[in-house]
Every structure is written in C-alpha cells, then in structure tokens.
Structure 1
Amino acid sequence: MNSDYNGHKKKKEIGFRYAWNGIKEVYKSEKNFRIHLVFALVVIGAAFVMELSPLEWTSVIMMIVIVLSLEMINTAIEKLLDHSAPEQHPVIGAIKDITAGAVLVASIGSVFIGFIIFLPKLLTLF
C-alpha cells in the first residue's frame, strides 16, 4: 500500500491527498467496494430519471455515503488486523465478522429505504 506519508508533515500539506489515496486503495483492492459503487451509480441514475424530491435525494445520498464509508472502515480494520496479527485468531475473526456485519446491516437498510422511495414511483409507471 502506497502512502505519501514520509515520516514528517509538510506545513502546507493537507490531508486531502492522503484521503484520496485511501479511496483509490479501497477501490483497487476491494471488490465489494466496487460493487457498492456500481449500485450507487445505478441508484443515482434512477433517482435522476424518477425526479426525486430533495428529501428523497437526501435519504439516497446519505445511505450511499454510509454504506461506502462503512465498507472503507471495514477494509481499514481488516488490513490493520491482518498486519498486526497475521495468524488466525478467534477474536480477530470475530472483529472482522462484526465489521462486515455492520456493512451488511447498512446495505440491507439502504435496500429498504430504496424500496420505500422507488417502489411507489415504479408502481405508477405500470
């Protein structure tokens, strides 16, 4: 994993580049992140087509941000644990399962919110 961190901070350096590097790293290394991103883009496209209200847009964007952020946190925790404890350990496994479960809970919640927002609009088309 590459990082711009070289042991000391430059005075004018901001964290944006490091954050962007983190997003690129997760995108490159995590299939699930890419899958979530594809679904997010499909939902955003559908939201434009179905002309969501500002409140509906807010809900959709919030859920996308929550799921993608949790996926990134899950990845960071997994990488940290793999680095610090490369051998298998039941507690490490439980921690990884719990963080993956957090992503799953958010994903399921986003599907329900998607149904609440999009299903009535889809039903009016038929």
Structure 2
Amino acid sequence: MNSFCKKRIESFKYAFQGVAALFGGTPNAVVHLILAVAAIAMGLIFSISTAEWLAVTIVIGLVLALEAVNSSIEALANHVSKDRSDAIRRVKDLAAAAVLLAASAALAVGLLIFLPKIIELFQC
C-alpha cells in the first residue's frame, strides 16, 4: 500500500477517534444523538418521503457536526487560557450559538414533518 493510501486510512482513523471522543465526552452530543435516533425512528414509522428524509438527514448532520466543532473550540479555548477572558467567553458563546441555531432549525424541520402526521394519527 502506498503512502497516499496509508495517510487517507489514518485520517479516517483519526476522524473515528474524534467521533468516539465526541460521544464519549460530550453529554450534549449524546442528547443530540438520542434525538437523531428518535427522528430516524419516527421517519421509519411514518414512512416519510425522500424530500423529508433529505431535510431530516441534513439537519441531523448539521447539528452533530456543529456540536463537534463547538466541543473542539471549547477544548482548545480551555487549553489556551485557564483564566476568565471576555475574548474566550465570546468565542465559546458564539460556538454554542451555532449549535443552538442548528438545533432550532432541526426542531422546526421535525415539527413541520412529524407534527401533522402525529395529529392525523390521533384524529378519528
């Protein structure tokens, strides 16, 4: 196997180590993962359309990816400065805001897709 292929394989190994670190050390990521699994289960139960699957998949990926970015920014900021700093606080707040905005969009997508189906289920 050539050097190029070995480096690509190693990069995937590091990425999977990052995924393990995310879900092993970030409680909010675990919450997002549980909600993602619930959304996937509801999608299967309600047989959502391809377009609906596309929306669900995109927002799940967005939330989880931004949670990983947020966690990495927090870890780096904590490493750089143990002292309270307005600049570090601002960076961490902005990273957390990105996750909040993505999670809000995911909630909106979930409500738009699943709420009408749930209401229909309980109508006589």
Task: Give TM-score scaled by structure 2 length.
Answer: 0.91
Match of 2:43 among 41, 44, 47: 47
2: distance between equivalents of 1:83 and 1:119? 43
State the secondary structure of the residue aligned to 2:7: coil
2: distance between equivalents of 1:104 and 1:120? 24
Q: Determine if the alignment matches structure 1 residue 115 to structure 2 residue 115.
A: no
Q: Which amino acid aligns with 1:59?
A: A
State the secondary structure of the residue aligned to 2:48: coil
Q: Determine if the alignment matches structure 1 residue 18 to structure 2 residue 8.
A: no
Runs of 4+ in 1 over 6 A off after TM superposition: none
Unaligned runs of 5+ in 2: none
Q: Which amino acid aligns with 1:79?
A: A
2: distance between equivalents of 1:125 and 1:38? 23
Q: Which amino acid aligns with 1:62?
A: I
Per-residue deviation at 1:101? 0.8
CA RMSD of aligned residues (A): 1.1
User: What is the number of equivalent residue pairs in this alignment?
Assistant: 117
Higher helix share: 2
Match of 1:28 in 2: 24
Deviations 1:32-75 (A, max 9, x none): 00000000001100100000000000000100000000000000
Q: Which amino acid aligns with 1:94?
A: R
Percentage of pairs with the same residue? 34
1: distance between equivalents of 2:20 and 2:51? 30
1: distance between equivalents of 2:52 and 2:17? 31
Aligned pairs (5 A) from 1:70-81: 70-81=66-77
Q: Which amino acid aligns with 2:66?
A: L
Q: Which amino acid aligns with 1:16?
A: F
Match of 1:87 in 2: 83
Task: Give TM-score scaled by structure 1 length.
Answer: 0.89
Match of 1:6 in 2: none
Per-residue deviation at 1:87? 1.5
